[in-house]
Amino acid sequence: MRQKPVLYIIIPCYNEEAVLPVTAPLFLQKLQEMIQLSLIQEESRILFVNDGSRDRTWEIISELSKKDPHYMGISQSRNRGHQNAVLAGLMEVKDICDITISIDCDGQDDLNAMNEMVQKYLEGNEIVYGVRSSRATDTFFKRFTAQSFYKILNWMGVEVVYNHADYRLISGRVLKEFQNFKEVNLYLRGMIPLVGFQSTTVSYERHERLAGESHYPLSKMFALAFDGITSLSIKPIRMIAGLGMTVSFISFLFIVWILIQYFSGHTVQGWASISAIVCLMGGIQLICAGVIGEYIGKIYLETKARPRYIISERTEPADVTESETEDRK
């Protein structure tokens, strides 16, 4: 059995002033319960990552960090999206933690699964994926799109854990290896399995948001799905090649047919079908060029090797300010 670990709970927050005051005490309660159960060390912390919020989120995080030393916060200099915010949090603590658990701040993911996650770590796992036991609270549309997406990803050869979002335990050891994954296009749930090490899953119920609104409208969902595929799989390129060959073969048959028509003196009648082919070919070529362009765009971004996040602020630990005020007395 392993030693009790130091746990950092990583929570990305973007415009969450409505939900943060509700869920922050729940996270603290959970942390303290786990400390009392001797699952984790007293030095464990809750790290909020403010993802360039435009509302009072950062003020709330700063206030929390003054109230209890278990709360900490970092703030990104601008909104970079959920995946980058989680990465910023993970990289912030990689050298000081034994384990991290990333979770959304809206209370949708059942906090009670954390005990089991830590237990699985103590049993020797380096990564523990939270897997939703059912999708009953989702709309039919979200359920359908999400499940088809997992199927497509798997078919594309991207290894993803079915029904796992970004609620997971990652050990410091894995994070130290993960920092060498330098890509800019992030799709964490597809990248973490690439690091390897012993892993397992824990199932949990996903509830409705406790307050506030989702920041994942349809457009962002599609963007993440598209990123997931093009960042991790080159199968679309192979499919283009396959499509190209099929189309060429069909075109060859058409040419034979056109020649037959020509020699039998029916060329004028063939005009409609030829124009149709021209249009079809134009369309296919455009699609192909678009997909190839997507990859070239990604290569372009990767060669720049830009920093993936920039931290602009950090909260002070609460115990220091307290002792300072006592000194003054």
Catalog residues that contact Mg ion under the rule CB under 5 A.
Answer: 104, 106, 108
Which of 18, 55, 56, 79 binds ligand UDP (CB under 6 A)? It is 79
Burial pattern 139-166, b for ≥16 Cβ within 10 A else e, equals eeeeeeebeebbeebeebebebbebbbb
202 binds, among Mg ion, ligand UDP, none (CB under 5 to 8 A by kind): none
By CB under 6 A, is residue 81 in contact with ligand UDP?
yes
Cβ-based nearer residue to Mg ion, 26 or 194: 26
Q: Tokens at residue 186, please?
A: 């992030």
Residue 113, CA distances (Å) to 93, 103, 168, 323 in order:
22, 11, 10, 35
Tokens of 313: 């602020």
Which of Mg ion, ligand UDP, none does 12 bind, CB closer than 5 to 8 A by kind?
A: ligand UDP
Residue 51 binding ligand UDP, by CB under 6 A? yes
Of the chain, the end-to-end C-alpha distance in Å amounts to 46
Which range, of 80-88, 241-249, 268-276, 287-295, touches ligand UDP by CB under 6 A? 80-88
Which span sits near ligand UDP by CB under 6 A: 74-82, 190-198, 226-234, 274-282? Answer: 74-82
Q: Are 129 and 168 in contact (CB under 8 A)?
A: yes
What is the footprint of ligand UDP within residues 200-259 (CB under 6 A)? 214-216
By C-alpha distance, which of 54, 63, 62, 65 is closest to 15? 54
189 binds ligand UDP (CB under 6 A): no
In order of 99, 126, 184, 230, 289, the CA distances from 84 in angstroms are 19, 22, 9, 17, 29
When asked if residue 105 is in the footprint of ligand UDP (CB under 6 A), the reply is: yes
Q: Give contact residues for ligand UDP (rule: CB under 6 A).
A: 12-14, 16, 51, 79, 81-82, 85, 104-106, 108, 214-216
